[in-house]
Copies of this chain bind each other. A is one copy, B any other.
Amino acid sequence: MDIITVFDYVGTLAFAISGIRLAAAKQFDLFGAYVVGLVTAVGGGSIRDLLLDVTPFWMTNPSYVLITAEALLFVVVFKKYVVYLNNTFFIFDAIGIGLFTVVGLERSMAAGFPWWVNVAMGGITGAAGGVLRDIFINEVPLIFRKDIYAMACLGGGLIYYMCHAFGLPSNITQVSAAVSVFTIRILAVHFKVSLPALSSLEELNTEDNG
């Protein structure tokens, strides 16, 4: 099992646990929690694969449904301690979006799409699972209102193409992009950087002109 696979599974586990925890808070039963965990973990890549017209990745490798089952087992058994692991999950989650972004971008590239579609597919792979999760638990998607999340994926995608433009070898390009996503995400949360809301811009405009 190479390092890419390890990070992929770590990210899947972190995504699944985030879905399962939010489902538990909404009184979902064990099955509902499993489905929300699975959708969080594989939803972004599934939307990407449907758009690219390739077989959804989790249908050719049982690891993802099994990792989600392990995530559920973990939450059930260690429910009391899960809350103390928030920082660990956050790091795992950030590793996950970094890796998912690069995997998604390259899968789109392999399907022959132009660079801006590839960057978008990287972003969808990293961020759409969380949007589906929030739709399933009937909440407004969190990433549309808080933190830098999908922007980190898009930023990493641009770094990928910058490395490409400078002719760097592909493994350095991959690592640079994934580490960029990870770093942007960590720094944004640490320094509480977020995008302005449109409605606050309105108030700003009003003051500028008033």
Contacts and interface: CB of A to CB of B under 8 A. Distances in A.
Interface in A27-41: 27-33, 35-36
Contacts of A137: 140
A150 interface: yes
Interface in A1-42: 20, 23-33, 35-36
- The interface size bin for chain A is 35 or more
A25 to B, nearest CB: 7
A186 interface: no
A154 to B, nearest CB: 9
Interface of A: 20, 23-33, 35-36, 46, 50-51, 53, 55-56, 59, 62, 65, 75-76, 79-80, 113-114, 116-117, 120, 131, 135-141, 143-146, 150-151, 194-199, 201-202, 205-206, 209
